Chains A and B, each alone.
Chain A
Amino acid sequence: NAGVMQNPRHLVRRRGQEARLRCSPMKGHSHVYWYRQLPEEGLKFMVYLQKENIIDESGMPKERFSAEFPKEGPSILRIQQVVRGDSAAYFCASSPSVNEQFFGPGTRLTVL
């Protein structure tokens, strides 16, 4: 059973471009979470999704950020019109239940 997969592992964008981060949960996991870790800071929860539904997006910035988890395919975190402050590591986690969350290796976004 493969772990949580994220791609790309590294992403470079210029200011104003769009960034799309993908997360494939572990097989059988229906809960997906996104977290952001700014340089030298702790992880911050962004959004929790189940298939085709956003359950909790209390940690998402109000503008430019969106997330989806379609019926088929990976979960996508989309950042429009990126700015330098969006440079961070973005981690996805999946869970089969209410207990432990399994994290992917992260996508490191660099905005030039």
Chain B
Amino acid sequence: DAKTTQPTSMDCAEGRAANLPCNHSTISGNEYVYWYRQIHSQGPQYIIHGLKNNETNEMASLIITEDRKSSTLILPHATLRDTAVYYCIVRDPSGGGADGLTFGKGTHLIIQP
């Protein structure tokens, strides 16, 4: 799996949009971008994934650049409960699901009241 680079930490004011960047310059054509988060002392939680088109679900939006070398996870209206470590992971799912996820250090997002 390709490596990803994320800022170590970010702050965001409650109620504002939180934009979390991720660089994955060596991503290959079959690899998707996945985002997970881990709230303190809990198991990781799946957020969203995409290949090349922008994606949106009830939790977040994922914006992937045209060259696919970077992406941004957007939490549109951050709340205090969104404080967590956010992991950007690139992965090729065509291996039949045999890949364990490779978690890096992620971004510690702190939502400020």
Contacts and interface: CB of A to CB of B under 8 A. Distances in A.
Nearest to A56: B98
A48 B102 CA distance: 13
B46 A59 contact: no
Given A91-B44, A98-B93, A42 B104 contact: yes
B113 interface: no
Tell me the dominant secondary structure on chain B's binding face: loop
Nearest to A96: B97
Tell me if A's interface is mostly helix, strand, loop or mixed. strand
A47 B100 CA distance: 7
B45 interface: yes
Given A98-B93, A99-B93, A56 B100 contact: yes
A35 B44 CA distance: 11
Interface in A57-112: 58-59, 91, 93, 95, 97-106
8 contacts: A35-B101, A45-B101, A56-B99, A100-B49, A103-B44, A103-B45, A105-B42, A106-B42
Interface of B: 34, 38, 42-46, 49, 93-106
Interface of A: 4, 31, 33, 35, 42-48, 55-56, 58-59, 91, 93, 95, 97-106
